[in-house]
Chain A
C-alpha cells in the first residue's frame, strides 16, 4: 500500500494549494496597496474640499464684518458728523449685524470736533439690548490696547488675536480694527481707529459642524498658533499648537504648526497625534486673518472599510481553498483509483500469479494505455515462463540421466572398506568426490596370490559421458590384463595399445598402477603421466615418488612403459591422488597445489588410511570455500603394516583351518575347546602350544560371553583356527556390543586382592600370544591372536 503522505492526492493538494496561495498573496497584496492609495486619494480630496468650504464659509462672514469698520472709516475721512449722528450710526450698524457684538470709533486726543482729550464711543449688545459707553477713562486707557495701538502704528487694518470678553469670560471675541486719517495742519495724520468686535461662538459652531467619519473633527488655530476652536475646551485660548508639540515632544506637530502659520495647506499623516490615535490631518489657511483650519480623520476609521474588505477577501479565499482541496481530492481519487487496481493486479503478477486479470480501463487516457501494456507484459511473461519450465524439465531429465550414468560409473569402483579385513598388513582407503558433471577418475585394487596387492588410480582427459565411458573401459582392460606373472609395465603397454586402437576421440588417461608385496613392502609401479604420489612415513616425513618420464595411456601406440620400484618402510603410507586435489581452486583463483598437499600430508604420519583420505578431502574443500568443484577429486591411501612373520606369506600356504560357530554359553566354550584340542593334535602341536592356545581360547570366550552380550539374548560367536607354516592364528568374531579387551587395564600394578579374573585372563592372552589384535568391523568385534610355532 502507498502511504498517505506519499499519495498522489495529498501531493496534488499540497502543491496546488502552495501555488494558488502564492498567487493569492501577490494579488491580495497589490490590491490592498492599490485600494489604500485610492482611498487615501479620495479622503484627501474630500478633506480638502470640506476644509476649503468651511474656510470659505468663515471668510464670508469675516469679510462681511470687515466691511463695517471700513465703511465707517471711509465716512469719517470724507464727511464730518456730529456726536449724535455718530452715536446713531454706531447703534444702527451694531443692530444691523448678527455677528457684530460691538463697534467702537476711537479718536486720538483732541481730534473730534470741539471735544478736548480722548473720545471713544462704544456701542455693544448686552442681552439683546444696545448699550453705549465712552471708553475713555484714566484706568482703562484704550490707546494702549492692542486693538487700537497695533493697527494705528502699523497703519493698516487688521484682526486682533482672539480674547475673552471682559464682562463675560465664556465669550471669546476678536476685533477688526481699521485706522482712519484726517488732514490736520496740512498733514494727513492718523486720527483714530474704527473697530468692530465679533463673538467667535458661531465660528465654533461652524467648525464643530465639520466632521469626517464618526470621530473626525476640525479645529482652528490663530496666526500665532493659539487654538481658537478645539473639541477639548481647555485647549481653547490656553494652548498653542507649539505648546502641545512641546508637551508631547512631537516634531511632526511642530513642523505642521510652522507650515500652517506660513499659510500652507497639506494632507499629512501624524503618528500617535497628541499621544492618542494615528490620524490623517488636512489643513488649509484662512486668508482673511492668517488663521489655519485643521481637519482630523482617525486612521483606523479611514482604514476600517479597507480592513473589512480585506477580511472578506481572506474569508472567501479560505472557502475557495477548501473547495479546491475537496475538488483536488475527488479528482486525484478518480485518477488514482484505476492505478490502484492496476497496482494490486501487478503485485499479484509479481507474486507469480499470472492468471490474475488486469482491470479493464474504459477511458482512453495514459492509465488505460499502461494497463494495456501490463496486460501484454503478463501474457509475454506467462509465455516466457512456460517455455522456461519446458526447458528446465528437459534439462532436469538430462541431468538425472547423467546422474544415473555417474552412479553406474561409481558403482564399478570397489567401495567396501576395509577391503581385506583379515589382512592386517594393509590399511587401505579411497574416495572419489565426484564433481557435478560426470568425470573420468577411477581407482581400483585387488589381491592376487595372497601376497600381492594390485592397485591403480587414473584420470581420463575431459569430462562428461565420453570420459566416464573411457574410464570404465580402461579400468576393465587393466583388471582383465593383470596376471601375477606379467610385469606391470607390460600390462600398461598392452592396455595402451588396446586403447590407442580406434581411439577416434583422441582421449587419453593418466594412470599410476602399482603392486605391493605385502610381506616386504616392496612396490613395483608404472606411472603413465599421472600426478606424482607421495610416501608419508609415520614420523611425518613426506617423499615424492619421482617421475619415470612415461606418457599418458592412449596417445602413442606401441609405447614401451618402464617399471620402477620403491620400498615402503613399516607404517609408511602411499598417497595417490588425481589433479582434482592439486588443481582445486579457491575464490581468489589460487590452486591448492602440490605444495599445500605436501604440507598437509606431513601432519598425517600417524593417521590411518581412512583418516588421511577423509582429511585430505576436507582440507581441499576448506581451501576451495564456496568456489565450485570443477573436477572429480580422488584420494587414495595405502598404509603398509609390516607383518609379524613375513614367512607366512612366503608360499602363501595355509596348512589347515577349522571354522566353528558357538552360542554364548559355557557349555559351548567346552565344545569349542574340544574342537581346538582335536585340531591341535591333528597337527602335532607341542603340549606347550596346545596349553597356551587352550588357555587363550578359554579366556577370550569367557570374556566375550561375560561382557559382549548385556542383552542376555542368544548370540553366535564365530571362531576360525588357521595353521600356517610356522604360525597359528585364531580369530573370534561376535556381534556383541563393542568391547576391546585391550582396553582392560594391565593387572601388573593392581594389588593382588583387587585383581579381577577378566583382567588376569586378558593379561595372560597378551603375554602368551605373539600378536593380539582387536577390531570393530561392521558392528562386530573381531579378535585375532597368533602364535609362532617353533
Chain B
C-alpha cells in the first residue's frame, strides 16, 4: 500500500492510503518501526486517506504505541472517517489512542 510521509518540525506524519487490512498490515508495520528506530519520536498517523482498518491494522497501532512509549515518544491519530471512528468508539479502542479530528489539532497536542 502507498504511505505518504512528511515532517512538520520534529513530528513525523504518516498518511496510509487505502485499506490497512490483513494484506497490507505487515508492510506498514515494517516501515513505521524502521522509522521509529531511525529516531522518530512523535508520530501522527493521518487517517484521511484510509478507507478501512481491520484488527491487523489495530494491532500495528498498539505495537507502535508501545515502541514509542519506550522511547518517550508519542503517537496521535487524526482525521478518521465516520465508519472507522464508529468502529473505534463501539469497540472502545478510541480510549486506547489519542485521536484528533484534524491533523492541526494532532500537531498542536503532540
Residues of chain A whose beta carbon lies under 8 Å from any beta carbon of chain B: 666, 669-670, 687-688, 691-692, 694-695, 698-699, 702, 748, 752-753, 755-758, 760-761, 763-764, 767-768
* A666/B83 in contact, CB under 8 A: no
Interface centre among B21, B23, B55 (most CB of A within 10 A): B55
Residues of A within 8 A of B91 (CB): 763-764, 767-768
Q: State the CA gap A518–B51 with chains docked (Å).
A: 40
B62 at the interface (CB under 8 A from A): yes
| B87 interface residue (CB < 8 Å to A) | yes
Say whether B96 faces chain A, with CB atoms less than 8 Å apart. yes
Q: Report the nearest B residue to A755, measured CB to CB.
A: B62
CA distance A472 to B92 in the complex (A): 60
- Do A752 and B90 contact each other (CB < 8 Å), given the known contacts A666-B22, A670-B23, A761-B54? no
Given A691-B86, A699-B54, A761-B55; 17 other pairs, CB 8 A cutoff? A666-B23, A688-B86, A691-B84, A691-B87, A694-B52, A695-B52, A698-B21, A699-B55, A702-B55, A756-B59, A757-B55, A757-B58, A757-B59, A760-B55, A764-B91, A767-B91, A768-B91
Q: Which of B21, B52, B59 contacts A755 (CB 8 A)?
A: B59
A688 partner residues in chain B, CB cutoff 8 A: 82-83, 86
Which B residue sits closest to A690, measured CB to CB?
B83
Contact B66 A753 (CB under 8 A): yes
- Shortest Cβ-Cβ A-B pairs, 9 listed: A761-B55, A691-B83, A760-B55, A757-B59, A753-B66, A767-B91, A698-B54, A702-B22, A757-B55
Please encode chain B, from 84 to 99, with 1 for each CB lying within 8 Å of some chain A CB and 0 for all others: 1011001110001000
Min Cβ gap A303→B in Å is 131
Do residues A687 and B82 form an inter-chain contact, with CB atoms below 8 A? yes
9 residue pairs bridging A and B, Cβ less than 8 Å apart: A666-B22, A691-B83, A695-B54, A699-B54, A752-B65, A756-B59, A758-B55, A763-B91, A764-B54
Q: How far is the CA of A61 from the CA of B90 in the complex (A)?
A: 171
Kindly state whether residue B56 has any CB partner on chain A within 8 Å: yes
- A223 to B: closest C-beta gap in Å: 158
Residues of the B chain whose Cβ atoms lie less than 8 Å from the Cβ of A699: 54-55
A378 to B52, CA, bound (A): 95
- Bound together, the chains give a CA A420 to CA B70 distance in angstroms of 54
Contact residues in B for A691 (Cβ distance below 8 Å):
52, 83-84, 86-87
Residue numbers of B with Cβ under 8 A of A are: 21-23, 52, 54-56, 58-59, 62, 65-66, 82-84, 86-87, 90-92, 96
A interface, by DSSP: helix, strand, loop or mixed? helix
Assembly CA distance A756 to B58 (angstroms):
10
- By CB atoms of chain A within 10 A, which of B56, B83, B96 has the most? B83
Once the chains bind, are A764 and B22 in contact (CB under 8 Å)? no
Q: Chain B nearest CB: distance from A707 CB in Å? A: 14
Contacts of B58 in A (CB 8 A): 757, 760
Return A489 CB to nearest CB of chain B, in Å.
Answer: 50
A-chain residues with CB within 8 Å of residue B83 when the two chains form the complex:
687-688, 691
Which B residues are in CB contact (< 8 Å) with A695? 52, 54-55, 87
Contact of B59 among A666, A694, A760 (CB under 8 A): A760
Which residues on the B side are within 8 Å of A687 (C-beta)? 82-83
Q: Which residue of A lies closest to B53 (CB)?
A: A695
The complex places the Cα of A757 from the Cα of B62 at a distance, in Å, of 10
Residue of B22, B66, B90 with most partner-chain A CB within 10 A: B22
Interface centre among B59, B65, B92 (most CB of A within 10 A): B59
- When chains A and B are docked, how far (Å) is the Cα of A699 from the Cα of B90? 16
| Cα separation A755 to B96 with both chains bound (whole Å) | 12
Q: Which residue of A lies closest to B62 (CB)?
A: A752
In the assembled complex, how far is the CB of residue A134 from the closest CB belonging to chain B, in whole angstroms? 182
Q: Is the CB of B23 within 8 A of A753?
A: no
Minimal beta-carbon separation of A130 from chain B (angstroms):
179
Q: Are B55 and A692 in contact (CB under 8 A)?
A: no
- For B84, the closest partner residue in chain A by CB is A691
Contact between A669 and B62, CB atoms less than 8 A apart: no
Cα distance, A764 to B23, chains bound together (Å): 18
Distance, CA A688 to CA B54, complexed state (A): 14
* Chain B residue at minimum C-beta to C-beta distance from A762: B55
Q: A752-B66, A752-B96 are in contact. Are A698 and B22 (CB under 8 A)?
A: yes
Q: Which residues of A sit under 8 angstroms from B56, Cβ to Cβ?
A: 702, 757
Looking at the assembled complex, report how far the CB atom of B96 sits from the nearest CB atom of chain A, in whole angstroms. Answer: 6
Shortest Cβ gap from B5 to chain A (Å): 24
Contact A692 B87 (CB under 8 A): yes
User: Whole-angstrom distance from the CB of B69 to the nearest CB of chain A?
Assistant: 9
Closest residue of A by beta carbon distance from B54? A698
With both chains docked as a complex, state the minimum distance between the C-beta of A579 and any C-beta of chain B, in angstroms.
55
Considering only CB atoms, which chain B residue lies closest to A757 in the complex? B59
B70 to chain A, nearest CB (A): 10
A687 to B86, CA, bound (A): 11
CA distance A763 to B92 in the complex (A): 11
Among A666, A748, A753, A767, the residue within 8 A (CB) of B62 is A753
Closest residue of B by beta carbon distance from A752 = B62
Contacts of B66 in A (CB 8 A): 752-753
Q: How far is the CA of A768 from the CA of B86 in the complex (A)?
A: 10
What B residues does A702 contact at CB under 8 A? 22, 54-56
B54-A768 in contact (CB<8A):
no
- Residues on the A chain within 8 Å of B54, using CB: 695, 698-699, 702, 761, 764
Residues of B within 8 A of A761 (CB): 54-55
* Contacts known (A752-B65, A755-B59, A757-B55); A767 close to B90, Cβ less than 8 A: yes
CB of B64, distance to nearest CB on chain A (Å): 11
CB-based nearest A residue for B90: A767
**Whole-angstrom distance from the CB of A239 to the nearest CB of chain B?**
147
CA distance A687 to B55 in the complex (A): 18
Chain A residues with Cβ under 8 A from B62's Cβ?
Answer: 752-753, 755
Bound-state Cα–Cα, A753 to B56, Å? 14
**Do B22 and A768 have beta carbons less than 8 Å apart?**
no
Min CB gap A680→B, angstroms: 13
Q: How far is the CA of A764 from the CA of B22 in the complex (A)?
A: 15
**Chain A contacts of B87 at CB under 8 A?**
691-692, 695, 764, 768
Complex-state Cα separation, A744 to B32, whole angstroms: 29
CB distance from A789 to the nearest CB of B (A): 15
In the complex, what's the smallest C-beta–C-beta distance from A448 to chain B, in angstroms? Answer: 39
B33 smallest CB distance to A (angstroms): 14
**Residues in A whose Cβ lies below 8 Å from that of B23:** 666, 670
The chain B residue with its CB closest to the CB of A766 is B91
A752 contacts across to B, CB distance below 8 A? 62, 65-66, 96
Q: What is the CA–CA distance of A143 and B14 in the complex, to the nearest angstrom?
A: 193
Residue on B with the closest CB to A706? B22
Residues of B within 8 A of A666 (CB): 22-23
Measured between beta carbons, the chain B residues less than 8 angstroms from A694 are: 52
Give A495 to B104 CA distance when docked, in angstroms.
80
Give min CB distance, A732 to chain B, whole Å.
16
Residues on B with C-beta less than 8 A from A760 are 55, 58-59
Chain A residues lying within 8 Å of B65, measured Cβ to Cβ, are: 752
Q: Which residue of B lies closest to A691 (CB)?
A: B83
CA distance A306 to B34 in the complex (A): 140
What residues of B have a CB within 8 angstroms of the CB of A767 in the complex? Answer: 90-92
How far apart are the CA atoms of A386 and B90 in the complex, in Å? 84
Query: What chain B residues lie within 8 Å of A692 (beta carbons)?
Result: 87
A762 to nearest B CB, angstroms?
Answer: 9
A23, chain B: closest CB distance, angstroms: 116
* Interchain nearest-CB distance for A758 vs B (Å): 8
A756 to B56, CA, bound (A): 9
B81 CB, nearest partner CB in chain A, Å:
9
- In Å, the complex CA distance between A699 and B56 comes to 9
CB neighbours of A756 from chain B (8 A): 59
| Docked CA distance A625–B29 (Å) | 67
Query: How close is B17's CB to chain A, nearest CB, in angstroms?
Result: 17
